[in-house]
Amino acid sequence: MLNEKVEQKLNEQIQKEFFSSYLYLSMEAYFKSVDLDGFANWYHIQAQEERDHAMKIYNYIDYVGGRIRLLPIQAPKGEYKSVREVLEDTLAHERMVTQSIYDIVDVAREHKDHKTDYFMQWYVKEQVEEENNSESNIKKLKISGEEGSGLFILDAEMGKRVYVPTPTGFDDGE
């Protein structure tokens, strides 16, 4: 059984992960609108991963006998002025998600919920990767430039990303 406050934080994180998916779909739509299909692919896969992250928490709550509560998801930002704006918004969003993950770990530790602390360590590690990817994308854009052939080379690189499903169960080897 989950502590009520831990359970609440986990349900809020499900909402944040689904919002992240929705946000990344919005960013994908922007890239489609400006014919940057490689970037669109990268964000499409990012949206899929965020849904997986939400479902992993969803399944964990169920697995440990908690109560899943799906909360409303707000509409994401829908208009962007540039590739740089999207990439910078992505990094800011991932940093917000990281802080939210840390908050869950803190609450789990406060309530001596070792199983949730252990479970959330996967997310702590994942957020290191998420922030690193976001920072790397910004650096690559600065190097390649926001217009011209460099941008198209970067777009081609972004198009090579392949979706690898995240295991979404608690006991599936993480």
CATH code for the domain in which residue 75 is found: 1.20.1260.10
Is residue 14 a part of any domain in this protein? Answer: yes
Is residue 171 a part of any domain in this protein? Answer: no
Q: Tokens representing 87?
A: 């990439």
Helix axes of 4-33 and 83-110: crossing angle, nearest 10 degrees: 170
Among the ranges given (24-33, 139-148, 165-174), the one the predictor scored with the smallest mean pLDDT: 165-174
**Domain containing residue 69:** 4-158
Is residue 23 a part of any domain in this protein? Answer: yes
- Could you count the other beta carbons within 10 Å of the beta carbon of residue 133? 16
- Give every CB contact of residue 111 below 8 A, 6+ residues apart in sequence: 3, 5, 6
Measured CA to CA, the distance from residue 128 to residue 72 in angstroms comes to 27
Is residue 90 a part of any domain in this protein? Answer: yes
Provide the percentage of residues in the chain whose pLDDT is more than 90: 94
133: number of CA atoms within 13 Å, CB side? Answer: 14
- Give every CB contact of residue 130 below 8 A, 6+ residues apart in sequence: 94, 97, 98
Is residue 172 a part of any domain in this protein? Answer: no
Is residue 110 a part of any domain in this protein? Answer: yes
Under the banding of pLDDT at 50, 70 and 90, the label for residue 48 is: very high
DSSP assignment string, 110-163:
HTT-HHHHHHHHHHHHHHHHHHHHHHHHHHHHHHH-SSSHHHHHHHHHHTT---
Is residue 144 a part of any domain in this protein? Answer: yes
Measured CA to CA, the distance from residue 97 to residue 90 in angstroms comes to 11
The whole-model pTM stands at 0.95
**What local confidence, expressed as pLDDT, does residue 109 receive?**
98
Q: How many domains does the chain have?
A: 1
The Cα diameter of the chain in Å comes to: 56
Is residue 98 a part of any domain in this protein? Answer: yes
Contact 23, 78 (CB under 8 A): no
